[in-house]
């Protein structure tokens, strides 16, 4: 079977020496797009030329005219009499001819080449006498739909991006997701859509991190394979220029409106603001900070609250994954009375969003909001080493704006971490892949919605908890040891005293130390304070109450046998002994304290003003299986055998 990706990649041999390795993609990717568009238009080119022959150059034929009168299924065209083969056969004025050919595309396609800065690339290739050679090379490859399907073309684009990313030490995985992971996500999304088989059903699919369009393409193929009469609208937004251009080219070839793919930052410049969708798919970058977007995102959070996308809270700035999750939820269709087709979503995240952040943190509040609104349907744990740029554990979160009756108020966890086949040859960090059988197994677990070894079902509240602050009373002793005295004299409030007063204070403390006795510890604050006061009087020094309080604090230390410190008649809490406990949601915090804390520290109490509510999803814990350690007799026997072999070998050496 002809390997198109390898053939196209080998065009780099022509660039070697004139271009650096990290620049190959800037040349080869736009030529690949051009060859694909050229191949797509080839069967209907003459019909389109006949249609546009008498039209003014500035007049653009409508999509309907292209389809109905020219038998054309696409929403773009090219008016040039040339194609790549004819251009490659005419070496005279090749740069201008190729530029004219690109400009002869309809405006919706010219934008793709503008993103690649293709005119600059043509000029640079021409200066280096490489333009004709590159053109001839790409004229040889057959990228017509008859030879290369849309799905195959998407794979070719992804393979090329991965190769160029590796060559330039970039992160390939930021641009696309392994196909089998997308297959799983789309399969699970369609699994719960009962109306998908209806004749003429309309479904919209949205990807806020579209990359090269892999998720949109797989969704399109699967929906149409299930229902050939379905109308599928594919929409997405992408930040990376090259990925955007490829995605847009792919969607144009599929006959999608050109405005459905937008270039820009989803977090700060969201497209399709007034639209919601039937399906949402996303693989946001893992563990990438959102410092550049912080001002805009924080402003939306503070000013719009729950009327915007980020009302529940903001995650720490080092990882923006949960921002994309909230955005995706906001773009799913709301359920309407008497209507079907409420929004469903699937997003790939690493393990951090499951548990990062304690009660009251942005991450915890986002999880709690997701569960309280019953948007989270299931989480599927994937094997490690599934992605090209990372070997970490990843999870697919399934979202639903209108769960079925049996799933309401519940979340399903599916353990697919051991469902994989090893690849014969690793690609970057990717060493494992999901087989079709693995996808089927996970899909069946999801569909059956039953408890098993690999499927656990929980009530939403099972993931909630309260963090209580357990206080213990402050007990202090007092002494005039050299280190405490030095600490007291260095305190900020004391350091601000006039030099004469500080010297008098030092003499007073030395005098009091002699009277108390060196190293003697007092547990009576009143007695100790009276001793210090008398010494200060002898030195003729009067300290303000605030300074006196600081002085006594610095001369004290925590002591379980010390005097109880009270404030307004109540015990004062010790910051050093303060602790927190996570209490399950369905348990009374005071009963928990009585059972788990007071048997060990009877004087503890809860400061209820500091109680916080939280949510976390300890996925791994729920699938952990205890493996008992080996018996000591067995271990001893193995050690004796090893030691015996070592002894025998040593004896052989001595002999």
DSSP helix/strand/coil, 276: coil
**How would residue 476 be classed by pLDDT, with cut points 50, 70 and 90?**
very high
pLDDT tens for each residue of 450-469? 999 999 999 999 999 999 99
Detail the DSSP E strand segments found in 439-516: 455-459, 464-471, 475-479
pLDDT of residue 521: 87
CA angle 237, 8, 184 (to 5 degrees): 45
Find out whether 406 and 451 touch, Cβ atoms under 8 Å: no
Find out whether 442 and 416 touch, Cβ atoms under 8 Å: yes
Tokens found for residue 175: 């641009």
**How would residue 162 be classed by pLDDT, with cut points 50, 70 and 90?**
confident
pLDDT of residue 124: 93
Find out whether 390 and 423 touch, Cβ atoms under 8 Å: no
When pLDDT is averaged across residues 275-293 and rounded to a whole number, the result is 93
Smallest CA-to-CA distance from 170 within 365, 43, 24, 9 is with 24
**Looking at the DSSP assignment, which residues form a beta bridge with residue 581?**
468
Residues above pLDDT 90, as percent of the chain: 56
Cα separation, 526 vs 511, whole angstroms: 18
- Domain spans, the chain: 1-148, 175-469+607-629, 475-571
pLDDT of residue 167: 64
Find out whether 292 and 327 touch, Cβ atoms under 8 Å: no
pLDDT of residue 480 exceeding 60, the answer is yes
Backbone angles phi, psi at 299, to 5 degrees: -65, -45
CA angle 113, 117, 123 (to 5 degrees): 110
Cα separation, 23 vs 33, whole angstroms: 17
pLDDT tens for each residue of 593-649? 999 999 999 999 999 999 999 999 999 999 988 888 888 888 889 898 999 899 888
pLDDT of residue 616: 96
- Pairs from 484-490 (Cβ < 8 Å, separation ≥ 24): 484/554, 484/555, 484/556, 484/557, 485/509, 485/510, 485/513, 485/555, 487/554, 487/555, 488/550, 488/551, 488/554, 488/555
pLDDT of residue 172: 41
pLDDT of residue 305 exceeding 50, the answer is yes
Compute the chain's Rg from CA coordinates.
Answer: 35
Is 175-469+607-629 assigned to CATH 3.10.520.10? Answer: no
Mean pLDDT of the chain: 89
| Torsional sign, CA 478, 483, 485, 489 | negative
Cα separation, 51 vs 41, whole angstroms: 14
**How would residue 298 be classed by pLDDT, with cut points 50, 70 and 90?**
very high
pLDDT of residue 173 exceeding 60, the answer is no
pLDDT tens for each residue of 507-518? 999 988 888 877
Tokens found for residue 591: 């009963």
Task: Identify the DSSP state of 336.
Answer: -
**How would residue 339 be classed by pLDDT, with cut points 50, 70 and 90?**
low
pLDDT of residue 360 exceeding 90, the answer is yes
Parallel, antiparallel or unpaired: strands 261-263 and 344-350:
unpaired
- Does 463 or 113 have the greater pLDDT score? 463
Cα separation, 602 vs 373, whole angstroms: 40
Alpha carbon 456 to its chain's center = 24
pLDDT of residue 169: 52
- Left if phi > 0, otherwise alpha if psi is -120 to 50, otherwise beta: which for 147? alpha
Find out whether 324 and 293 touch, Cβ atoms under 8 Å: no
- Does 449 or 390 have the greater pLDDT score? 449
Smallest CA-to-CA distance from 21 within 166, 119, 130, 212 is with 166
pLDDT of residue 1: 39
Find out whether 320 and 293 touch, Cβ atoms under 8 Å: yes
Find out whether 528 and 522 touch, Cβ atoms under 8 Å: yes
């Amino acid at each position: 079977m002809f390997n198109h990706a390898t053939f196209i990649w080998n065009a780099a041999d022509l660039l070697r020496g004139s271009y650096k390795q990290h620049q190959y993609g800037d040349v080869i990717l736009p030529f690949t797009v051009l060859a694909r568009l050229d191949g797509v238009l080839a069967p209907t080119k003459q019909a389109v030329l006949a249609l546009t022959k008498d039209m003014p150059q500035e007049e653009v034929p409508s999509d309907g005219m292209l389809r109905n009168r020219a038998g054309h299924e696409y929403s773009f065209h090219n008016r040039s009499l040339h194609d790549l083969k004819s251009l490659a056969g005419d070496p005279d004025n090749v740069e201008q001819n190729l530029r004219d050919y690109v400009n002869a595309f309809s405006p919706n396609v010219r934008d793709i080449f503008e993103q690649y800065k293709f005119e600059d690339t043509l000029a640079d290739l021409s200066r280096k006498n490489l333009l004709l050679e590159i053109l001839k090379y790409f004229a040889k490859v057959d990228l017509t739909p008859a030879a290369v399907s849309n799905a195959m073309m998407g794979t070719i684009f992804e393979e090329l991006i991965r190769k160029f990313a590796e060559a330039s030490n970039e992160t390939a995985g930021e641009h696309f997701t392994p196909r089998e992971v997308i297959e799983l996500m789309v399969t699970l999304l369609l699994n719960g859509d009962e109306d998908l088989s209806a004749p003429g059903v309309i479904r919209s699919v949205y990807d806020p991190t579209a990359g090269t369009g892999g998720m949109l393409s797989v969704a399109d193929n699967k929906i149409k394979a299930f229902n050939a009469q379905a109308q599928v609208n594919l929409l997405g937004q992408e930040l990376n220029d090259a990925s955007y251009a490829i995605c847009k080219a792919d969607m144009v070839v599929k006959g999608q409106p050109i405005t459905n793919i937008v270039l820009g930052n989803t977090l700060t410049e969201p497209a399709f603001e007034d639209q919601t969708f039937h399906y949402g798919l996303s693989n946001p970058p893992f563990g990438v900070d959102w410092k550049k977007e912080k001002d805009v995102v924080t402003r939306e959070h503070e000013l719009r609250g729950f009327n915007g996308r980020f009302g529940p809270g903001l995650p720490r700035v080092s990882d923006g994954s949960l921002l994309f999750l909230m955005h995706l939820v906001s773009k799913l269709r709301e359920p309407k009375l008497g209507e079907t087709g409420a929004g469903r979503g699937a997003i790939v995240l690493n393990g951090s969003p499951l548990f990062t952040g304690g009660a009251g943190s942005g991450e915890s509040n986002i999880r709690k909001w997701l569960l309280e609104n019953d948007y989270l349907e299931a989480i599927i744990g994937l094997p490690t080493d599934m992605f090209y740029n990372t070997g970490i554990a990843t999870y697919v979160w399934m979202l639903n704006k209108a769960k079925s009756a049996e799933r309401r108020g519940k979340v399903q966890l599916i353990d697919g971490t051991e469902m994989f086949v090893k690849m014969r040859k690793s690609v970057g960090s990717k060493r494992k892949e999901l087989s079709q059988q693995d996808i089927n197994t996970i899909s069946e677990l999801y569909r059956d919605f039953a408890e098993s070894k690999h499927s656990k079902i929980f009530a939403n509240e099972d993931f909630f908890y309260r963090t209580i602050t357990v206080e213990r009373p402050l007990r202090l002793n007092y002494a005039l040891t050299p280190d405490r005295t030095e600490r007291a004299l260095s305190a900020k409030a004391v350091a601000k005293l006039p030099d004469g007063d500080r010297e008098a204070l030092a003499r007073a403390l030395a005098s009091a130390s002699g009277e108390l006795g060196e190293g003697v510890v007092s547990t009576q604050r009143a007695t100790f304070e009276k001793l210090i006061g008398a010494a200060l009087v002898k030195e003729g020094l009067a300290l303000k109450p605030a300074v006196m309080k600081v002085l006594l604090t610095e001369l004290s230390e925590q002591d379980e046998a010390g005097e109880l410190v009270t404030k307004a008649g109540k015990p004062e809490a010790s910051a050093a002994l303060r602790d927190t406990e996570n209490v399950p949601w369905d348990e009374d915090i005071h009963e928990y304290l009585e059972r788990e804390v007071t048997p060990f520290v009877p004087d503890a109490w809860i400061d209820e003003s500091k109680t916080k509510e939280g949510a976390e999803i300890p996925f791994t814990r729920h699938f952990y299986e205890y493996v008992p350690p080996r018996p000591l007799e067995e271990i001893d026997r193995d050690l004796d055998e090893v030691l015996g072999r070592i002894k025998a070998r040593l004896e052989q050496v001595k002999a």
